[in-house]
Amino acid sequence: MNVQATTQALPPSMMKTALYALTLMVLVMASTGDAEAEDHVVTQSNMSFSTADLTVKVGDTVSFSNRDSMAHNVYSLSDAKTFDLGSSAPNTSKKVTLDQPGVVDVECALHPSMRMKIKVTQ
User: What domains does the chain contain, in order, with CATH numbers?
Assistant: 39-121 (2.60.40.420)
More confident position, 110 or 5 = 110
Please give the distance of CA 33 from its chain centroid, rounded to a whole number.
15
State yes or no: pLDDT of 63 exceeds 80.
yes
Query: Is 54:105 a contact under the CB 8 Å cutoff?
Result: no
Q: How many residues does the chain have?
A: 122
Entry pTM: 0.71
> What DSSP state is assigned to residue 9?
P
Residue 24 has pLDDT above 70, yes or no: no
pLDDT in tens, 43-53: 999 999 999 99
Write the pLDDT tens digit of every residue in 73-91.
999 999 999 999 999 999 9
Residue (of 61, 54, 38, 57) closest to 121 by Cα position: 57
Q: What's residue 16's pLDDT?
A: 73
Residue type, 28: V
